[in-house]
Structure 1
Amino acid sequence: MIAEIALLALLGQWILGLLAGARKDTNLFYQILQIVGKPFVVASRFITPKQIIDRHVPLVAFLLLLFIWIAATLMKIRICLEIGVELCK
């Protein structure tokens, strides 16, 4: 669930950045989404090599979170199939 929230925050931040343009930094909702996604961007900066420029780090964070979310979803599906779909509800 944390990965989903962070993914949606980063995606929303990107879309709002496209819509707001140069004035995105003064947009309140953009700033809120930036606060939600910042811990994951900082963690991505920590694990990425220095050759990756800072502008691309949010994309790295998004892709890492997407991979984690897909892995967690596949694991949940596998567990539900093992114990039975009725018990997963």
Structure 2
Amino acid sequence: MLLFLNIAQLVLYIGALGLIGQGLLYVLAGQKRDTNLFYQLIGIINKPWTLLARFISPKQIIDRQIPFVAFCIVGVLYIAVTLAKIEHCISIGIEACQ
């Protein structure tokens, strides 16, 4: 169980960092961000989260706001997994979680 929680936490952490990186490149690259290689690579990494955000969000949310929605989803899931990990570690003992 602890291994599963660690893997889930790592996947969510990578997703959050990817979304933050894409947001920074969105600001720094300006109008030519669609031709930026790194922006496109980070977009590929973030594709599962943006697809999930598009599926969950209502149609009134425009496409430009979907990465922010994805970041909020990843953030909430990361907090949930972290709390589950803390609860699991308390139930089995702190020494067993190391």
In structure 1, stretches of 5+ residues that fail to align are none
In structure 2, stretches of 5+ residues that fail to align are 1-9
Match of 1:83 in 2: 92
Runs of 4+ in 1 over 6 A off after TM superposition: none
Match of 1:4 in 2: 13
Q: Distance in 2 between matches of 1:43 and 1:83?
A: 33
User: Where do 1:23-62 residues align within 5 Å?
Assistant: 23-62=32-71
1:17 has 2:37 as partner: no
- TM-score normalized with structure 2 length: 0.84
Q: Deviations over 1:22-50 (max 9, x none)?
A: 12122211111000001211121112111
In the TM superposition, what is the alpha-carbon distance from 1:74 to its structure 2 partner? 0.8
Q: Which has the higher contact order (CA 8 A, sep 6+)?
A: 2
Percent identical among aligned pairs is 49
Matching residue's letter, 2:18? A
